[in-house]
Structure 1
Amino acid sequence: MGRGTHVFTVNEANAIVMEIKPVLGGLMEAYKEGELGIIREQSRWLIKLSHRLGFSINPRLGIIHFPTLYRGSYDALLCYRFNEPKVMYWHWVDSAVRMRIRNINLFGSRGIENKEAG
């Protein structure tokens, strides 16, 4: 991961998910209904927020990735997909979303500590 990249814990990722879930839900509904104004407005807000906080989001698919470290040194992404109750999956940085691994417990009950994030 690049220098200065924020490394998220599971708890941090879940806190962000809970905060933006209502907006993401409205956006997903707007995509279904073809409401372009809402899509533009809410997508813009979510993308700005993601840049500011250091996660990535695909508003159209409702997928959010949070950079993290597996076992303190291997680049990984915590992965949330809209309508999941919380962050429950992760995958390697260079693998596709379809390669998600469900065992979030590998990251500990509190998630990864951010000591490595500098």
Structure 2
Amino acid sequence: MLVPLGDPAGRSAWTVESPDGRQFAVFLLDDGSVRVSDAGCPHRGGPLVEGRVRDGEVRCPWHWYRFDLDTGECRTTDQHHLAVHPVVERDGELDADVGDPPPVLSWSERLRAHAQGDS
């Protein structure tokens, strides 16, 4: 699924929403390149768009977890990984390829995944 990134309008970070309701953070780096990640920090859901971006990393404003915006690797701990999404140009406009939405799970499937540590 492609999500239009829109016009930065002077911003270096902003959020966009996919038609299925997922939120993504868009970062305009100093070199003019654009990176897109999930909007919430994988640690506790902090708003990454409010974080500090420096040297290709974003630092979560809540607990200071640092993530590489190219790979999603967490530089603070190996317990977390940030989903990053490729940016593609289409008809002169930038879009993020955010993939398909996650499947809708029943409550029993959610509980089973949680019990197995998959959530």
Normalization by structure 1: what TM-score? 0.28
Structure number with greater Rg is 2
